[in-house]
A and B are shown apart, each in its own frame.
Chain A
Amino acid sequence: MNLEALFFYAFTTLALGGATLAITRRSAVHAAISLMVSLLGVAGLYLLLHAEFLFVAQIILYIGGILLLFLFVIMLVNLDAGRGLRQFHQRWPLGAAVTAIAGVAFAILWSRVQLPPTQQMPDAGNVELVADTLLQDYLVPFEVVSLLLLVAVVGSVLLARKRA
């Protein structure tokens, strides 16, 4: 087994194991820490795919931003009251069945796909390539996303503020 395959399986184990722990833990803080392990595994997969910019963005934005936000909210909201309660709602078999059906459907679809042959990336740095594509071909969506973030920030402040 070569080194790349070894790293692939290591990062996959991190990503999927962390995800499984995140949705099964009773404590929300434990779930958040497991989610961090999972996100780190995904960041490692980005590195293996030569997407260095996304690797850094994943660590800074997801682990430094979103996960911290989750931990803040867990701190603000009293979650200890829910620890002794049932963790899965009454109709969980329905949800599990939907998940299983979706899994089988996607697997069947994927087994019928025929991929075109692999092509090489242009010979330039990853950040350079991503920046060229983002700021030339996708400039308008880029600006729209900045507007979306502005609206989201204003909206979340409005939602979360105390009513006078």
Chain B
Amino acid sequence: MHYVAVSLAMLLIGTAGLLTRRNIVIILMSIELILNAVNINLVAFSKHHGNAAGQVFAIFVIAVAVAEAAVGLGILLALFRNRETVQVDEVDLLKW
């Protein structure tokens, strides 16, 4: 099952981008990478078990990813309109 290794590598790349970058657009892209890693896993195990349910789950994940991207980019636009920045560590009004 080499696919699981690919999925793990992609998940780690996504996590690294999510936790280290400052640009919120790149952070949203990292979330898409993580969701893609999950999908590779689901499809690989769907093939392994000879059962199409895994692919149906992957379709649900894609639908949720689309909704997440739409809402996330909407929040990003509202943030940029109010604060004129897309660097996440400059948005620290609620930080102690």
**Interface set of A (CB-CB < 8 Å, partner B):** 8, 12, 15-16, 19-20, 22-23, 28, 31-32, 35, 38-39, 42, 45-46, 49-51, 53-54, 57-58, 61-62, 65-66, 69-70, 73-74, 76-79, 82, 85-90, 92, 94-96, 98-99, 102-103, 106-107, 110, 115-116, 118-122, 126, 129-130, 132-134, 137-138, 141, 145, 148-149, 151-153, 155-160, 162
Given contacts A54-B58, A62-B32, A86-B22, contact A110 B73 (CB under 8 A): no
Q: A57's closest neighbor in chain B, by CB?
A: B62
Contact call B86/A82, Cβ cutoff below 8 A? yes
Q: Binary interface profile of B, 15-55, with partner A (CB < 8 Å = 1, else 0)? A: 11111111101101110110010011001101111111101
A to B CB contacts below 8 Å, 17 in the list:
A15-B6, A19-B13, A20-B13, A46-B43, A51-B47, A61-B66, A66-B32, A66-B66, A66-B69, A70-B29, A90-B89, A92-B19, A138-B53, A148-B67, A155-B74, A158-B74, A159-B74
Contact call A22/B71, Cβ cutoff below 8 A? no
How many chain-B residues does the 8 Å CB contact rule pick out? 69
A-B contacts, CB under 8 A, total: 226
Residues on A with C-beta less than 8 A from B6 are 12, 15-16, 45
Contact call A73/B25, Cβ cutoff below 8 A? yes
B5 to chain A, nearest CB (A): 8
B25 to chain A, nearest CB (A): 5
B92 to chain A, nearest CB (A): 11
Contact call A69/B86, Cβ cutoff below 8 A? no
Given contacts A49-B3, A85-B87, A156-B71, contact A19 B10 (CB under 8 A): yes
Most chain B Cβ neighbours within 10 Å, of A65, A70, A79, A103 = A70
Q: B87's closest neighbor in chain A, by CB?
A: A82
